[in-house]
Amino acid sequence: NAGVTQTPKFQVLKTGQSMTLQCAQDMNHEYMSWYRQDPGMGLRLIHYSVGAGITDQGEVPNGYNVSRSTTEDFPLRLLSAAPSQTSVYFCASSYAGTGAINEQFFGPGTRLTVL
């Protein structure tokens, strides 16, 4: 199994450009999520999905869109990049049992710089 994969690993954008960060998992996990990691702030949840066709907002959703058309893929879209979106982005997945969530598996991250 490849686990959770993310592309690209690095990206530089200009303010106002759009792009999509790709995330895929081959573990048949129902639950997928996107986090951003900023210095001194830990990881903050952007959006998450509990299954194909179902998405919801996390702590910091503004400026980002997601969709979940398949179980495997959960892309994150930046419609108009801003310097405040400079960060490292992590995708994660897990089984979605009842009650507390199971172990989340993280991708290697995408380092995004917006100029």
Enumerate binding residues for other proteins (CB under 8 A): 31, 33, 35, 40-45, 48, 58, 90, 92, 96, 99-101, 103-109
Name the nearest CA neighbour of 30 among 46, 53, 7. Answer: 53
Contact 21, 76 (CB under 8 A): yes
Nearer to other proteins, 19 or 43 (CB): 43
If the CB atoms of residues 14 and 103 are measured against other proteins, the closer one turns out to be 103
CB of 114 to other proteins, least distance (A): 21
Q: Which is nearer to other proteins, 4 or 13 (CB)?
A: 4
Least distance CB 67 / other proteins (angstroms): 18
Tell me the closest approach of the beta carbon of residue 78 to other proteins, in angstroms.
20
Residue (2 or 99) nearer to other proteins, CB: 99
Q: How far is the CB of 101 from other proteins (least distance, A)?
A: 4
